[in-house]
Structure 1
């Protein structure tokens, strides 16, 4: 294995005298050769001592062309954030969005911003999301597209309402609806101001004076019109159905407003339902003397009082079993006999088995009320995964239970109120008791008294909680507004086939979530939101809504906002022509409804307000994976329902931010990382230093955002170290293009040094790969490509080779200009490549490029390369030389390569011809070949030299020439003979090319003489 260190550069004496170290740090790194199947590693090259070793060295310092730039290698302490703020001001960050909107370009790129919730301080999750969006926008802008990006905020909803009510404590009970709304609005506005300031500081490009908010009057009016479009198509209806209900919030919740607690403990029970009337096919099994019970299992004992049936799987096998300990006869699924008997600590004797369909027309008695009948009914939702294969069915408390009840006309009475407490219609022992607490205990005791409880045990399992109060929810039936999404889902799934998902697995995840969603409950029982625009009859179960009422309301809301629902008298909320038909202003028969719209419906209609044109689709939606069941889905369903098209062309899904060890971030764990502390530092800046926004942006881009993303001090330090290495590389580039003007000093590509041409060849390949990675939103790959290039190809390879040419040739020498031509192109490609990720650093570099005056990297386009840079044959020239150099360096470990001469012997053929291209004369200390070898001088021979020195080292090897895709293949042998040089060290360039000590080598003498 061959390893390479950054070697001592020529002109080091002058560098040491100047007190500067130019070039990257010393560490081994892999050197990749693009376009071939071979990989080479560069061996270490040791240099002379960095101290001045000759009294004459300092007198030549001014003749060496040292790098010159004001660009600092590092920004320490407050310098980083302060410099970024200066850059934002000087380079017009705040005007950039407006500038690009005014350009006369045909192509537009639309990224529709999913609205963050306006109820808290900015956090690293915001940073991850907004920075990813900004990188995408800046890339497409630099590529020539006009960016359409309108930032937004989700401003209504339960979390904000709960927050202000909890802050008010007992005073909250006396607040009117309008007082709650005013306080909620103020709270949301304050949160928006904080978040907006943070997003601006992170360098997010937008018109921050023109954002969208879901509480904007125009937005609310548009939303009401979308609601009516869906109602008019028969997709919105009111019904009595079971929904997720949060007793702690006293409102219905959507699936997207739940979070599942895997540590929830339920009291699970096995319960007997005595067989009342066996089915005709089972009648022969019962002799009448031994009672038979159907055995069920449930984790929700409180739902037993609402039982209306027991369901079975028609296709499954069932068994009649006898319990060895009690003698009781049970009906259970045949596949579950062993598992159930083990759980009950008993054994079962199987008396008979039969098909599920044989249970048809059988009935049981209710375990708490012997006079109540619970029929045995077939159902497709019954599984054998858990339980007994027979499912207790309470239509008011389960989605599948409701479906069974609808088919068989079962009662759907709900015995639980909005607070999760048993109502007066429940058994007297249960009334006024909370179902998840004391109510469960009483139900279990009642089952024990009725001798129908078989077993109780605690079960730890995943259970839905209210996403904001962090308390368990229940399923309870209530009258709500729903969207019938069955037909919409079918169309939506078809349309998703033409949408690109990144990563691809996100598509299936979203489709699975939609498939599990039976209907969408869009009503909430709160006041901070947009009202569902219907009027309910005072005495009859009917309501009023039509195109006239909606247009009248939408116009009012457009002028005054949705507060009018609570502030105007009902007769003013209806248009005159409808009012006269509804009893007139004096005897109005209708009152405004008290429900508000689900905030997922609110944010899900944002496409209708933000996207220009009725047929417009966004090029990109980019949000966290939780939005597969949230905003992505609500946007899709509302768009498909109203205009039969998806609102997006591409969907990018990122993971969540986690602590350094992969743990969830929470205040209780104390691992919350504040983006403001990352940028400006904490109270103790020795432990929480100011990193600036670009470190935060680099961390975002470098992370594998398609899975969970970890952040902590080590990740931030690593990002800062990466940026410092990048700055070092940029400083070398900037310092060495001083005095160079690309327009007048550039060397034509064909006349450049081979190694310089080779770097342009690599540069073109890098530019292509980086552009492709940005197009795929794989910013992590962009970082990996950049790091590999600036550490490996540049710092550890190219820079070490060219320093002598840069520092020690005369200023206008074509050999030096050749190198500067390559460096200028490298600098330009490099800066544009990372500009979308590191906008502050990119603009800072542009301020220091000596031949650019007041230019902005973002206003001058994307990477520009030339097809003539691509020269695959160059690889053979450079690789073959490096193979020989590798042999040479491997033979002198720890020694200074410049103290040796190399004799290269190659049999006549392709390889020899390639070497001749690098060195025309037999022996040279200034040829391209010798520059690559970094020896004192190189000699190229077609046969062994006649004379050999005793202290020479002889090395042999072979190299395969592979050109034109394999059409030209030739394996050549070579020999490298290494001998100590007989020359002395030149006090100017430190190469061992001088005839005597303290005299200049011929090259330096010519340069100095010329000056």
Structure 2
């Protein structure tokens, strides 16, 4: 009977020329109702269409304007993949970058691409990085800036060389043969990675990338090298460096990874004191037989010992072992720990300060004829060991500093393969220092009675990041960058750089502090040759601005292979040699064989790629804090006294859903190609590129980013919900052309104007989030707008007006005008993240010419006209009433109720009158908002209330510019299904020169 009663009302209203008053829910029921008693629903003039003869159900459907669009609700499987590829081709993804570079623009946005390494297939780390960059680039392009983004690849280095040679090795191959194989391998990796980046929708001119093996790039790199050399920042020296026996080359700090589970055979050994320190010899008579006790985790360095260091300000004691007569010199505060370690009591015989040890001489334990001085050093600590440090200048950075200060010998007893040389003596020669060499040294210490204790020590130790094998420290003649002279400038420049997240700034500064010097020479073939010549007889290097400039020009023209291809007379022609005083003939020189560190390769990219002095942003993973971020900073500060970037974005790594590092052995590696195209495992269907992009956007990029089936399924579902809303918007815009049928904002219904106001706020929030590299906030803002403002609020209110009013009526066109603006705004908002979906929607959307694409048509077109004083307050006030009304009738339809709102005369009453001028209405904007059958707006509570009336009352607090206005609202309704609206307090606050509404108890919107 209820529905028939509603139908009768609808027929009456139709004769009056009014729309049916019920909400969308009841309308849908009416359309599907089949009772013959109700066959007249919607058949009057108020319906947009008349029912045709036939079934009642068909008749009802034809009386309303139901949504219609060819835009599919869902795409999956091969259809999804084909559609994405079709969109890329149809909408000109490949030409988009070139198009935007040719258009006129007042501002440029430069994101400098850090070169991925060309040594393997694309992985999810690539996807995270490249898509993150592309989201920002597409946003900047949409809002009218000319984007400068040139993808690049880091093409040199040992990993490529090793993979290219495989099991063949370098045996019998010339440098040119090695380089040819390495280049071919790099080119194959680049081709695979580039194809993947394009499939992900990354916008770039893929025919104009940069590669560190290009001659022009190498020439620009040598120019940076020359300027740094001319300033004395680059120099050659013989000093300890990290050396990889497994790679047979020097390494920089950035090429190390530290194994925290490394196990060393740590030892405690004695150095007999043969000459007591002068300051304590006289007053400490009878201390003959004292031995200095040292601790080291690298016993193989004992043969290279040149001194024992102490801390000048620390206290030291001579202690006597209770289990024998041995006298040991140790730091006083380490005595208790040593006693526990040795399992005996240590009795103090005498105590004195470290400075009193000056001048003492020890005897080397395995080299009887060698004296070892006691020397002060500030790097001595009391955390571990004995407080006395064994010092081998050839095999320690801090040890080398001591040797430099005290003029100690720096003899290297270890060759390039990590084996002892003949300088170590016949017992040790040719033994691997990290294996049998260590065994032999410990054995020698035991034989001479110098070994006090051996223990297993688990500690952090540097490994070659390529071969995963431990490194050693050994001296060799290398080329270095004096980072100590650049640190202060680098720190100052970094203070002017914006870092996201800000917490990464501390890591950047800490890395700078720890950098002692930067070894930039490598003993390999696949790289940019260091442009230096050496005298055949003296070994003196020949390098200056004339020779380097000549080599740079050759590299630019012919590529760096010419360093090995051309005769030395061409590399060092007489006219260049004449500019070097006292140089002699060309025949006296040979070309150098070292190549530059690949971190110098990529660190000079700003000079080879950037047009402007600084990029707007560098965006890379956190591993680049000690890598590309730092090498770029050092080279740029050295040459130009400023950083090459205005901002740094440091993102985390991609990990499994369990938070574990991805590993083939664990079987948790996620292949982006499988994500897009699907795999053999049913849990990994074809998700397409947009799901991969949504995963990147939605993630908290500043932490570890998890990926797996659960995360990807959620991303797919969220995109599905988005498609559903977009389909509803498109369906209700069928036949609407905003260019000729749009309603002027001032003539639109208040609720439609209010939605444009919300759309403007939405666009501002989205723009701000994109500008902060916070695509996750974009998605959260989008989902809140779609769910709260559209689905739960606006769509539930407007369906009657959309479906039941005449097609060309002002009310319906007003609604369509708002819907078209919302569709356009939402589509543009998602475009940087979901370019395939955005362009697909744009193909179906009204209001633009055939062939026009979204990415060539700009950013969200919100208007300041949409922000109207009073409009927000009126609608928000009505929403506050609506919320409690609906919450007080759970499970029932609002259209079953006649609603009376009684408000004392005043501001709130005037706001409600702007939505309903007449006292009672079934079709006012206030009635539409309330979704009730009829709304009455009165200034006082009726006296004759029926006993079954639902009654509520409350107070609305309105604050305008700090002035409080109390507005009391009493509420009641007519008999029958009756209710009066709201118990709610809302505040209107003056804030940032605009009125904002705060609803403490929460509105449904």
The question of a shared fold, defined as TM-score above 0.5 by the shorter chain, is answered with: yes
How far is 1:286 from its partner? 4.0
Distance 1:289 1:890, change over 3 A: closer
Distance 1:445 1:872, change over 3 A: farther
How far is 1:194 from its partner? 0.5
SS of the equivalent of 1:210 reads coil
How far is 1:914 from its partner? 2.0
Query: What residue number does 1:512 align with?
Result: 510
How many residues are paired up? 934
Q: How does 1:116-195 map to 2 (within 5 A)?
A: 116-165=116-165, 167-169=166-168, 172-195=170-193
CA distance in 2 between partners of 1:154 and 1:163 (Å): 15
Q: How does 1:309-320 map to 2 (within 5 A)?
A: 309-320=307-318
> Are residue 759 (structure 1) and residue 775 (structure 2) matched?
no
CA displacement, residues 869-894 of structure 1 (integer Å, 9 cap, x when unaligned):
22464443333333333332333222
CA distance in 1 between partners of 2:280 and 2:808 (Å): 105
Query: What residue number does 1:103 align with?
Result: 103
How far is 1:971 from its partner? 4.5
> Are residue 865 (structure 1) and residue 846 (structure 2) matched?
no
Query: What residue number does 1:37 align with?
Result: none
Query: What residue number does 1:21 align with?
Result: none
SS of the equivalent of 1:78 reads helix
Distance 1:231 1:922, change over 3 A: same
CA distance in 2 between partners of 1:214 and 1:592 (Å): 22
How far is 1:346 from its partner? 2.9
TM-score by length of 2: 0.90
CA distance in 2 between partners of 1:202 and 1:182 (Å): 31
How far is 1:10 from its partner? 5.3
CA displacement, residues 26-70 of structure 1 (integer Å, 9 cap, x when unaligned):
xxxxxxxxxxxxxxxxxxxxxxxxxxxx97453131121111111
Given candidates 695, 709, 715, the residue that maps to 2:691 is 695
Distance 1:392 1:921, change over 3 A: same
Higher mean alpha-carbon deviation, 970-979 vs 951-960, is at: 970-979
CA distance in 2 between partners of 1:957 and 1:56 (Å): 46
Q: How does 1:479-490 map to 2 (within 5 A)?
A: 479-490=477-488
CA distance in 2 between partners of 1:741 and 1:548 (Å): 68
How far is 1:584 from its partner? 4.2
Query: What residue number does 1:590 align with?
Result: 589
> Are residue 932 (structure 1) and residue 926 (structure 2) matched?
no
Larger RCO of the pair (alpha carbons < 8 Å, separation 6+): 1
SS of the equivalent of 2:180 reads helix
Query: What residue number does 1:433 align with?
Result: 431
SS of the equivalent of 2:446 reads helix
SS of the equivalent of 2:279 reads coil
CA distance in 1 between partners of 2:127 and 2:490 (Å): 31
CA distance in 2 between partners of 1:948 and 1:491 (Å): 82
- Asked if the contact 2:33/2:57 (under 8 Å) is kept, the reply is no
How far is 1:503 from its partner? 1.3
CA distance in 1 between partners of 2:454 and 2:670 (Å): 44
How far is 1:99 from its partner? 0.6
Query: What residue number does 1:360 align with?
Result: 358
- Asked if the contact 2:903/2:967 (under 8 Å) is kept, the reply is no
Distance 1:245 1:925, change over 3 A: same
CA displacement, residues 941-990 of structure 1 (integer Å, 9 cap, x when unaligned):
322324333433223333222333x334324344354865499xxxxxxx
How far is 1:754 from its partner? 2.2
- Asked if the contact 1:293/1:330 (under 8 Å) is kept, the reply is yes
Given candidates 620, 641, 648, the residue that maps to 2:617 is 620
Higher mean alpha-carbon deviation, 231-240 vs 546-555, is at: 546-555
Query: What residue number does 2:19 align with?
Result: none
Given candidates 447, 450, 453, the residue that maps to 1:452 is 450
Given candidates 15, 21, 28, the residue that maps to 1:12 is 28
Distance 1:339 1:15, change over 3 A: farther
- Asked if the contact 2:268/2:293 (under 8 Å) is kept, the reply is yes
SS of the equivalent of 2:105 reads coil
CA distance in 1 between partners of 2:532 and 2:636 (Å): 22
Query: What residue number does 2:49 align with?
Result: none
Q: How does 1:557-956 map to 2 (within 5 A)?
A: 557-578=555-576, 584=585, 588-612=587-611, 616-684=613-681, 686-853=682-849, 854-871=851-868, 873-956=870-953
CA distance in 1 between partners of 2:852 and 2:710 (Å): 36
> Are residue 198 (structure 1) and residue 214 (structure 2) matched?
no
Structure 2 unmatched runs, 5+? 1-22, 35-53, 980-1005
Distance 1:278 1:737, change over 3 A: same
- Asked if the contact 1:953/1:979 (under 8 Å) is kept, the reply is no
How far is 1:378 from its partner? 1.1
How far is 1:526 from its partner? 0.6
CA displacement, residues 111-170 of structure 1 (integer Å, 9 cap, x when unaligned):
1111111110011111111111111111111121111111111111111011123x234x
> Are residue 70 (structure 1) and residue 70 (structure 2) matched?
yes
- Asked if the contact 1:269/1:456 (under 8 Å) is kept, the reply is yes
How far is 1:467 from its partner? 0.7
CA displacement, residues 740-771 of structure 1 (integer Å, 9 cap, x when unaligned):
22233222323322222222222111111111
How far is 1:284 from its partner? 4.5
Query: What residue number does 1:60 align with?
Result: 60
- Asked if the contact 1:11/1:808 (under 8 Å) is kept, the reply is no
Structure 1 unmatched runs, 5+? 1-6, 19-53, 984-1011
CA distance in 2 between partners of 1:975 and 1:767 (Å): 37
CA distance in 2 between partners of 1:960 and 1:347 (Å): 81
How far is 1:559 from its partner? 2.1
SS of the equivalent of 1:953 reads coil
CA distance in 1 between partners of 2:645 and 2:824 (Å): 34
TM-score by length of 1: 0.89
How far is 1:263 from its partner? 1.3
CA distance in 2 between partners of 1:758 and 1:13 (Å): 29
CA distance in 1 between partners of 2:202 and 2:490 (Å): 32
CA displacement, residues 301-354 of structure 1 (integer Å, 9 cap, x when unaligned):
111111111111112222333333334322222222223322333333333332
CA distance in 2 between partners of 1:211 and 1:113 (Å): 10
How far is 1:106 from its partner? 2.4
CA distance in 2 between partners of 1:80 and 1:852 (Å): 25
Distance 1:17 1:689, change over 3 A: farther
CA displacement, residues 576-628 of structure 1 (integer Å, 9 cap, x when unaligned):
2356876646xx12211111111111111111111126xx2111111111111
Query: What residue number does 2:402 align with?
Result: 404
Higher mean alpha-carbon deviation, 688-697 vs 883-892, is at: 883-892
Query: What residue number does 2:290 align with?
Result: 292
Q: How does 1:543-554 map to 2 (within 5 A)?
A: 543-554=541-552
SS of the equivalent of 1:353 reads strand
- Asked if the contact 2:32/2:60 (under 8 Å) is kept, the reply is no
Query: What residue number does 1:494 align with?
Result: 492
CA distance in 1 between partners of 2:292 and 2:970 (Å): 89
Distance 1:930 1:423, change over 3 A: same
CA distance in 1 between partners of 2:495 and 2:834 (Å): 35
Higher mean alpha-carbon deviation, 316-325 vs 671-680, is at: 316-325
Q: How does 1:242-257 map to 2 (within 5 A)?
A: 242-257=240-255
Query: What residue number does 1:269 align with?
Result: 267
Query: What residue number does 1:986 align with?
Result: none
Higher mean alpha-carbon deviation, 55-64 vs 861-870, is at: 55-64
- Asked if the contact 1:884/1:976 (under 8 Å) is kept, the reply is no
CA distance in 1 between partners of 2:698 and 2:400 (Å): 49
CA distance in 1 between partners of 2:628 and 2:766 (Å): 31
SS of the equivalent of 2:676 reads helix
How far is 1:17 from its partner? 9.5
Query: What residue number does 1:391 align with?
Result: 389
How far is 1:850 from its partner? 2.3
Query: What residue number does 1:235 align with?
Result: 233
